[in-house]
Amino acid sequence: MSLAQDVIAKMTERSITLSTCESITGGGIGAALTSVPGASAVFRGALVTYARELKTSLAGVDEALIEREGVINELTALQMALGAQAACESDWAVATTGVAGPTEADGAKVGTVWFAVVGPGWACPTRLPIRS
């Protein structure tokens, strides 16, 4: 069973919904989830905020945060997830932001990825390790 199949199966069993807000992954998580038969029972939708300004206009990320810290950080990832959760009216949401390259962005090295998960009363931003 793939990870996407497992996520859809477990969320279906629990009758909970999911949405995504993706930057570095460009909609890949949503695509993987929606490739699973029956995903429509739990997957509410996705925001693909690849462009910096879309993180603010679509996901509601604070403009001052972006001006001060850029878009590659835990607070941006967390606000992106919260924005997807609100916009898609889902129980849970995940968000990704990072630097795919070929050069650094906002002072973050190529390969830096922030991943956030939010749910009812729960939020967890995590920096994924850089692979050499």
Q: What's the whole-number average pLDDT of the chain?
A: 93
The burial of 75, by beta-carbon neighbours within 10 Å (0-12 exposed, 13-18 middle, 19 or more buried), is given as middle
In 1-132 the beta strands, taken as DSSP E runs, fall at: 18-22, 43-48, 92-98, 113-119, 122-128
Instruction: Order across the sheet with 18-22: list the strands.
Output: 43-48, 18-22, 92-98, 113-119, 122-128
Cα(111)–Cα(26) distance, integer angstroms: 15
Q: Which residue has the tokens 């932001």?
A: 97
Average pLDDT over every residue of 17-43: 98
pLDDT at 70: 95
High-pLDDT (> 90) share of the chain, %: 89
pLDDT at 132: 44
pLDDT at 82 exceeding the cut of 70: yes
Q: How does residue 87 score in pLDDT terms, banded at 50, 70 and 90? A: very high
- For the chain, counts of helices (H) and of strands (E): 5, 5
As beta bridge partners, residue 21 has 47, 95
pLDDT tens-digit series, residues 96-125: 999 999 999 989 999 999 999 999 987 777
pLDDT at 122: 79
pLDDT at 128: 61
